Structure 1
C-alpha cells in the first residue's frame, strides 16, 4: 500500500521505514518471525533480546537479517551483565535501531550513536524523557498506563502531550494503540507514530501458542489488572486465577523466587556470578528492596511458562488494555495495511466535514459477527 504523505512523519525517515508503526520488543514474544514480518510489512520490528543468551541474540539477529532487507531493531536490558558485549555486536552486525525498556545510560547512548545506531528508550514520565533526551537519544516511546507488561500510572492521553511539550525529539505513542484511529489521534497530539505490543502479539505471525492466544481473544476490556505481586514492579497482565492467587497471598517466598531464578539461569546459560550481578544491577536501577529483587526472579519464568510453553495455569499473560478490543488474528501485513487505510480515511473525514460518518469499530479489520474463539484461532493457524 502506497503511504499517504500525511502519514509520512519524522519517524519514517529516522528508522528508514514506510509507515510510522513500531512493534515493541516483547519478552518471549518478539522473535525472528514476528520481527521480520513487521519489518517486511513496512513497520519497524524489534527483537526482544532481554530473555535471550548472547548466542541466542546473535542467532535471532542473523535470522531476521536473512528474512528481511528492511530495518529492524533489538531491545536490550541495560542492567544485563554483558550489555557492553551485546552493544558491540549490534554495532558490528549493522542493526540500525537499539531500543531499551530502561534508561540506557549516557555512555551506552554515546557509543551507539557514534556508530550510527538509532537509540530509542521507553519512558513513562516527562522527567524521564527529558533525562534521556539530554543524553542524546534519537526518539522516545512514551508508554501510558494502558500499556502491557511493566507500565506507569499516567494515562497515554495525558502522558503523550506532556512528553511532547518537554522534548524536541520524536515521540512515539504506546499504551492503548490499536488501529488507524489510534495513529491519527497520536499524530494529533504531536507524536510521530505509534508503538504496539498486544496487537502484534495477537497476529498469525506471533509464535505464542494458540491455546494462549485464545485466552487473550476472550479477555474483555475489564479483564486486565496492574499488579506488583509478580516482581514488585507494577505490571499489567490478564487477570487470571494465577494472578488472583498471587494478589491474595502477597509476595512469593524467597525460596520460590530463588528456585525460579535458578531455573532461568539453566535456560539461558547465565552463570551464578552473572545472575547475582544482574540482580544487583536491577536492584540499583529500579531502587528495589532485597525482597523485591528476589520476587523479580519469578517474572521471566512465569512469563515463559505461559507465552512459550503454553501453560497459562502456572504463568502470567502480560497485555495492554487493548486486548479487549481485539478478536482476530491477522498477519502483520494485514494489520499494518488496515491501520494505514483506516488512518487515511480518518484524516479524510477530518479534512472534509461533509463526509463525516461514524467509523467502523476498532479492533476488527472488517465488520463481522463475533464467532467462537476456537474458530477464530484455528482460522489463522499455519
Structure 2
C-alpha cells in the first residue's frame, strides 16, 4: 500500500511503531521495520553513547529504514541529533516541537523530520518551520495526551497543513487504518498495539496487566508530573494521587538520582528539563522533578516488571487488545483486514 508516508520515508506499509521509552528498543524497532512498518527507536531513556550503540544494533538486524525519537527540549538534543546524522538515521521523530534550527540541521543532512503534535496550531507551526510530516495524536493515545479525540483532531490537521499527516491515538487494526486514510491521513502510528507483541521486551507479567485491562481501566492523571498522562489505573497511580507534596518530593528526588545515573544526565540538566515543562503551568517542585525523571517510573514497570512501583502508559486501545502476535503477524493481519474492509465498501454511485 503506497501513500505519501511510504514514499517519504521509504517503508513498504503506512504503519508507524512509535518511540516508547523503555519499550521501543532495538529488538522491537527492527522487528517492526522488517515487517514493513516504520520502527522508531526511543532515545530519551538512553545515554548518548548507548543511543549510538542502539542505532548500530538496529542496523545489524534490518536493512529497512527506521527512525529515532528525541526530546526536543532535552539539554543534549543537539548532541543526539549529531549522532543520528553521523549514523545515517533516516527519520527524526520528536515528542515536542523541535526548533526551526534543529529542523534545518536535520533536513540539511537528509533526515526526514516528523514531529508529534496534539493540536492543530502545533501542526501548523512545525509545518511552517519545515517539518516533512507530522504525527497527530488524539486524546485516546497513551502517555502525555490532550483532550481532543482523534476523529475530531485528525481532519482539522489534514485540512490545515500541506504535508503528510500520520494519525495516532486509538488505532490497532485494519479498520482503523482505512478510517484514517479516509480522513486524509497518510498512515497510522501505534504504540500500545506494538507494545503488546511478542517482539516487545516488556515483561510478561506487565503485558498480562495490559491484556486484562478494560477500557475503563485506562485513565488520565496529572499526579505523575502535573500534565495529563494516559496510563493504566493501578494502586500505585492511586497512591501518587493521594500523596502529599512532601512525600511526593522525597520520592521524586530518589527516582531522579537513579535516572541521572542511567541516562548520564546532570542535576542541572534534569532541573532544566523539568522547568521547561513547568513553564506556564502551576507545578509543584515534586512534579518538576517527576517531569524530569518520569522515565524511571516507566522503567520500574516496563523493564523491571514492578507495576506496583511504576506507571504503565497506555492508549485506550489496551481495553480491546487480547493477544500478543509478532510484529510480522500483526502488520500482515492489519493489511489483510484493511483489504477486506476496502473490498467490502459499497461502490460509489455516479
Q: Which residue number in structure 2 is paired with residue 40 of structure 1?
A: 34
Partner of 2:8: 14
Q: Does 1:340 align with 2:335?
A: yes
Q: Shift in Å at residue 137 of structure 1?
A: 0.1
- Other-structure match for 2:60: 66
Q: 2:260 — aligned with what?
A: 265
Q: Which residue of 1 aligns with 2:183?
A: 189
Identify which range, 243-252 or 233-242, moves more after superposition: 243-252
The one of 202, 211, 230 aligned to 1:208: 202
Equivalent residue for 1:318, pick from 287, 292, 313: 313
> Which residue of structure 2 aligns with residue 80 of structure 1?
74
Q: 1:306 aligns with which of 281, 301, 304?
A: 301
CA apart distance, 1:89: 1.2
Q: Report the counterpart of residue 132 of structure 1 in structure 2.
A: 126
Report the equivalent of 1:296. Answer: 291
RMSD: 1.5
Deviation of 1:12 (Å): 0.6
C-alpha displacement at 1:278, in angstroms?
3.0
Q: Give the conservation status (yes or no) of the 8 Å contact 2:142–2:314.
A: yes
Q: Distance in 1 between the 2:290 and 2:86 partners?
A: 35
Q: Is the 8 A contact 2:271 2:288 kept in 1?
A: no
Which residue is 2:274 aligned to? 279
Deviation at 1:288, TM superposition (A): 6.0
Contact 2:271 2:289 (8 Å CA) reproduced: no
TM-score, scaled relative to structure 1: 0.88
Classify the secondary structure of the residue corresponding to 1:222: helix
**1:247, CA displacement in angstroms?**
2.0
* Residue 267 of structure 1: how far off its partner (Å): 1.8
Residue of structure 1 equivalent to 2:344: 349
CA distance, structure 2, for counterparts of residue 36 and residue 302 of structure 1 = 25
> Contact between 2:271 and 2:292, CA under 8 Å: does it hold in 1?
no
> TM-score if structure 2 supplies the norm length?
0.95
Q: Is the 8 A contact 1:109 1:135 kept in 2?
A: yes
Secondary structure at 1:158 match in 2: helix
Aligned residues: 346
Deviations along 1:265-290, whole A, 9 cap, x unmatched? 11222233333333334434x75645
| Alpha carbons 1:209, 1:308 under 8 Å: kept | yes
SS of 2:215 mapped into structure 1? coil
Runs of 5+ consecutive residues of structure 2 not aligned to the other structure: none
3-state SS of 2:160 partner: coil
How far, CA to CA, are the matches of 1:17 and 1:288 in structure 2?
Answer: 42
| Cα 1:288–1:26 shift into 2, 3 Å | farther
Could you tell me whether the CA contact under 8 Å between 1:54 and 1:86 is conserved in 2?
A: yes
Q: Indicate which of 248, 254, 268 corresponds to 2:249.
A: 254
Q: Is the 8 A contact 2:167 2:185 kept in 1?
A: yes
Shift of 1:83: 1.0
Give 5+ residue unaligned stretches, structure 1. 1-6, 354-382
Q: Does the residue aligned with 1:142 lie in a helix, a strand or coil?
A: strand
Quote how far apart the aligned CAs of 1:130 are. 0.4
Measured after TM superposition, the shift of residue 352 of structure 1 is 4.7
